[in-house]
Amino acid sequence: MSLTMFESTIPVLWRGLGVLLSYIDRIEEAHAAGKADAEDILGARLAPDMFTLGRQIQIACDNAKGGPARLTGREAPSFPDSKKTPADFRHRIMKTRAYLRSFRPAHFNGSEDRAIDQSYRRADYSMPGVDFLRTVLMPNFYFHIAMVHAILRHRGFPIGKEDYFGKFQCGDMSLEPSPWTTMRFLTAGETATWLERHGTAGAYRFPFTTKGVVLNPRDLVDGLMEDLGGFDGGLLRVVDWIWDDEYEGDPTQSYRDRYDEDRPLLEVPGFLFGPEDAGAAKELMTMILERRWSARFYLRSGAAALQIDEGDRFILFGKDEEAERRVNFRLIECGFGRFD
């Protein structure tokens, strides 16, 4: 099986940015525990003439957005290089990921033969896109991620090759739109009415967290849906969100556009799915995890509900211990943690 230019580019860059997010998590955790000063770590370097850790992250992000843009003839967005805190760098990585989500396989048609000018690298020649991808873009991108890893290791962070590789390989990013069918948008009041009619699952409570674990959010969503007994429709309510108005605006707008829904997320925070809307539900839940939003999901059957807080803390509500048993087995397999 041969890989396309899209498959060789976007999912790979996506995964690398996920590794950087996990390193930001480590820096924040060490700072909160008093084991390291975040500003000092972001300014650390391996040698006097090398870039700082923060600059390495900036360059990796620039490669991740600039490379696909050059391959497809698009103009990459410009991000200011004024980041100072872990939160600033996390935001930069997430904005880069948001840009990667705008690409589709068709954008890369003919990119393997597109002449990529190398003058920005002080070279007076061009090379075919496939050579640019193999010999410039990917080696450079992973060089800067490796430097972040090396600086953290040099400063005493307990990380290893497993952290660099990540717990999950990239796999499905769900970049292609799903066949949306019967999805509806509900106000807060309509959401409350729906819950009164369908119930909110049992009182059995199972909390867990994925904080500090590098994973593919779609893999987690798919696994949870399977462990909850399958998708039969349900309600997703977004309860806390944030986005960059200057760069992208409301990331859920494209979903509402498909249904000519003019009301903003603030007015209609509820998404109601039919049994055939599994793809739509998984897309939205994946986005919530990626953006560290908070939401509540209720299966139509009332068999289970899932509380999501800031994208990495969860509480599963069910009628008995069976759902917990299935979910807990999956978490143990994947190396996830549990909290009380």
pLDDT tens-digit readout, 113-145: 999 887 766 777 789 999 999 999 999 999 999
Structural Rg of the chain based on CA atoms = 21
Whole-structure pTM value: 0.56
pLDDT at 248: 62
Hey, what are 253's tokens? Answer: 């707008």
Greater confidence, 207 or 169? 207
Q: How confident is the model at residue 287 (pLDDT cuts 50, 70, 90)?
A: confident
Give domain 5-165's CATH architecture.
Up-down Bundle (1.20)
Residue percentage of the chain with pLDDT more than 70: 81
pLDDT mean over 220-238? 79
Calpha distance 128→24 (Å, rounded): 35
Spatial CB neighbours of 97, under 8 Å, sequence gap ≥ 6: 14, 17, 290
pLDDT band at 180 (very low <50, low <70, confident <90, very high): very low
Token pair of 322 as six digits? 């069976």
| Segments making up each domain of the chain, as ranges | 5-165, 184-334
User: 47-96: per-residue pLDDT in tens?
Assistant: 999 999 999 999 999 999 999 999 999 988 888 777 688 888 988 888 88
Residue range 240-259: average pLDDT?
73
| Tally of CB atoms within 10 A around 197 | 7
- The better pLDDT of the pair 253, 63 is held by 63
Identify the pLDDT of residue 176: 35
3-state SS class at 182: coil
Per-residue burial over 166-183, b if 16 or more Cβ lie within 10 Å, else e, is: bbbebeebbbeeeeeeeb
Question: Does residue 45 sit in helix, strand or coil?
Answer: coil
CA-nearest of 37, 93, 297 to 191 is: 297
Q: Is 34 left (phi over 0), alpha (psi -120 to 50) or beta?
A: left
| Tokens at 194, concatenated | 């729906």
Cα gap 11→168, rounded to integer Å: 12
| DSSP secondary structure letter of residue 276 | T
Q: Can you tell me the mean pLDDT for 178-191?
A: 72
Q: What is the mean pLDDT of residues 289-306?
A: 85
What angle do the packed helices 217-227 and 278-291 form, to 10 degrees?
130
Which residues, other chains included, contact 28 with Cβ-Cβ below 8 Å and sequence gap of 6+? 38, 86
**Nearest to residue 303, comparing CAs of 218, 229, 220, 201?**
201
CA 171 to chain centre: 13
pLDDT band at residue 223 using 50, 70 and 90 as cut-offs: confident
Question: Residue 117, SS3?
Answer: strand
